[in-house]
Amino acid sequence: MGKAPAKIGTSSPLDPRVFYRDFVAERQGGRSGTAGWPIECIASGVNANQAPELRKFFRDAKINCEVSSDGNPVYTDATHQAKCLKARHLHHRNSFS
């Protein structure tokens, strides 16, 4: 962002094209890839009394994944989430993998 103009071009009869900056796209472009992480995923969680079983599953699968007392796994980033879900034969429907 900076000193670039919000509008480029003129509406002259010879060249009627006018171009506008997309401020929303510029704001999203500066977002970090780790924004919003870690997350506690309720959708892939288990009942609170099954939390020890899920911890044991991740430990046996040699995956370092914290499980909350409510039974929800805590994912540190998208790659970690995909790895944990794949081990459990689950699929994140809004991801691109």
What would the pLDDT profile of 41-89 be if each residue is shown by its tens digit? 999 999 999 999 999 999 999 999 999 999 999 999 999 999 999 999 9
Contacts of 17 by beta carbon, 8 Å cutoff, 6+ apart: 9
Residue 44 domain-assigned? yes
CA dihedral 39, 41, 42, 47 (to 10 degrees): -120
Residue 96 domain-assigned? no
C-beta neighbour count of 67 within 10 angstroms: 22
- Looking at the structure of the chain, the number of domains it has is 1
Residue 9 domain-assigned? no
Between CA 78 and CA 85 the distance in angstroms is 10
Residue 32 domain-assigned? no
Between CA 31 and CA 35 the distance in angstroms is 7
pTM above 0.85, yes or no: no
Q: Which domain holds residue 59?
A: 39-87
- For 35, the token pair is 């924004």
Residue 2 domain-assigned? no
Residue 25 domain-assigned? no
Residue 28 domain-assigned? no
Residue 76 domain-assigned? yes
